Amino acid sequence: RQSLRIGLIPADGIGKEVIPAARAAIEALGSDIPKPQFVDLVAGWETFTRTGVALPQDTVDVLRNECDCALFGSVSSPSRKVVGYSSPIVALRKELDLYANIRPVVSVSAEVGQKASVDLIVVRENTECLYVKQEQLTDGPNGKEARATRLITEHASRRIGQMAFKLANARPRKHLTIIHKSNVLSVTDGLFRETVRSVPTLPGVDGKYDGVTIAEQLVDSAVYRLFREPEIFDVMVAPNLYGDIISDAAAALVGSLGLIPSINAGDSFVMGEPVHGSAPDIEGKGIANPLASIRSAALMLRHLGYTKGADRLDTAVDQVIREGKTLTPDLKGTSTTTEVLEAVLKKI
Ligand code: NAD
Ligand code: K
Ligand code: MN
């Protein structure tokens, strides 16, 4: 590959502050990766208020036809229902069939309030569950009634299960925990659980996952154990909503959402994305933590096989956290986004 075409979709709020930092970090890698070519693309709430569409078709087409990968910032989705609006990130994950959301949560320094020995990956199913967004509001005999469809398919559960086994098998501990609530939701979560469990018996697997130990944990007690003994978890695989919640909870153990990266991965495309949202409470102040986005760039590069570039980004971020001198206020520091970026660039 001569060049690496990277779509950039900062979207809303602090996305506009942290995605440029990730871009600068990638540019600093020089010849460790093919020459990056960035393509600026729009989506989000601001795009919606300007144009009436949150995810322009052009953005999807350019990503599909002209990009090798992408970085997404964060959207400001309103909590109330707005006619014609629907979350562009949820739509993008579906449009590009990015069925796996992979979220590593790792502690590197107790100094900045990180709970020791957290080293886990949340593998979140990214296309279905309650996020199919089929909701109805009707009038019942005693007032309004709201319903939502929760879709769990064998197909989606199997491919996320395969992804989780593959990731677990590549880690030293090789331990996989299936998160569900099938004591109550025996049909939907039951299907998820059984399908993931059956991955090692699929044709073609041929004992590949014999070394992986499998555990299960109900989602509520999983959060409890996550806070009390996070070291028991290695890879956690979960349906969409549980995975969303568990990974935000895990972020608290390492000090800040501003540290947690993710990739949205499919079989033919990958999009890096910090786990956090648009953070309206700190938007425009120049103090958003850029490290989650830089780590997301690293994760994206690693997924594409550019291990050396990814390692350099991760090592630089870890060094800045360990030194503890240049940190944003979410990590009890006093530095700005730009100062943290500069510190990372120096390490790179
Ligand atoms: P949030 O992640 O935006 O913020 C939660 C808290 O964490 C806030 O106090 C914020 O200041 C802090 N925080 C988050 N990222 C930070 C960073 N990089 N540096 C420093 N502090 C950081 O979650 P929220 O407040 O629940 O949601 C705000 C908006 O973001 C909503 O409109 C929501 O829909 C949207 N959102 C979007 C995504 C996405 O784009 N995938 C994900 C979550 C939330
Ligand atoms: K985000
Ligand atoms: Mn979330």
| Mutation test residue for ligand 1: of 18, 256, 257, the one with most atoms within 8 Å of CB | 257
Q: What is the 3-state secondary structure (H, E, C) of 153-174?
A: CHHHHHHHHHHHHHHHHCCCCC
Which residues are close to ligand 2, an ion, with C-beta < 5 A? 74, 273
What residues does each domain of the chain span? 1-99+261-348, 115-253
| 107 has pLDDT over 80 | yes
ipTM: 0.98
- Tens-place pLDDT, residues 157-201: 999 999 999 999 999 999 999 999 999 999 999 999 999 999 999
| Mutation test residue for ligand 1: of 245, 278, 334, the one with most atoms within 8 Å of CB | 278
Please report the sign of the dihedral spanned by the C-alpha atoms of residue 152, residue 156, residue 8, residue 274. Answer: positive
Which CATH code fits 115-253? 3.40.718.10
Tell me whether domains 1-99+261-348 and 115-253 share a fold.
yes
| 39 has pLDDT over 80 | yes
| Mutation test residue for ligand 1: of 276, 287, 344, the one with most atoms within 8 Å of CB | 276
Protein residues whose CB sits closer than 6 Å to any atom of ligand 1: 14, 18, 74-77, 89, 257-258, 276-282, 288-289, 292, 328, 330
Q: Which two tokens stand for residue 334?
A: 């006093």
The span from the CA of 308 to the CA of 58, in Å, is 33
pTM of the complete model: 0.95
Percent of the chain with pLDDT over 70: 100
* Ordered alpha helix ranges (H), the chain: 15-27, 45-51, 57-66, 88-95, 154-169, 188-197, 219-228, 240-253, 291-303, 307-323, 337-347
Look at ligand 1, atom 40, and give the residue with the nearest C-alpha: 74
DSSP 114: P
Residues 6+ apart with CB under 8 A from 97: 127, 266, 267, 269
264 band by pLDDT with thresholds 50, 70 and 90: very high
Contact in structure between 178 and 213 (CB atoms under 8 Å): no
Average pLDDT over residues 20-24: 98
DSSP 118: -
Percent of the chain with pLDDT over 90: 93
The DSSP code sequence of 47-94 is: HHHHHS-SS-HHHHHHHHHH-SEEEEEE----SS--TT---HHHHHHH
Ranking 23-32, 41-50, 106-115, 330-339 by mean pLDDT, the lowest is: 106-115
Give me the architecture of the 1-99+261-348 domain, per CATH.
3-Layer(aba) Sandwich (3.40)
- Tens-place pLDDT, residues 88-98: 999 999 899 99
Q: How far is CA 173 from the centre of its chain?
A: 22
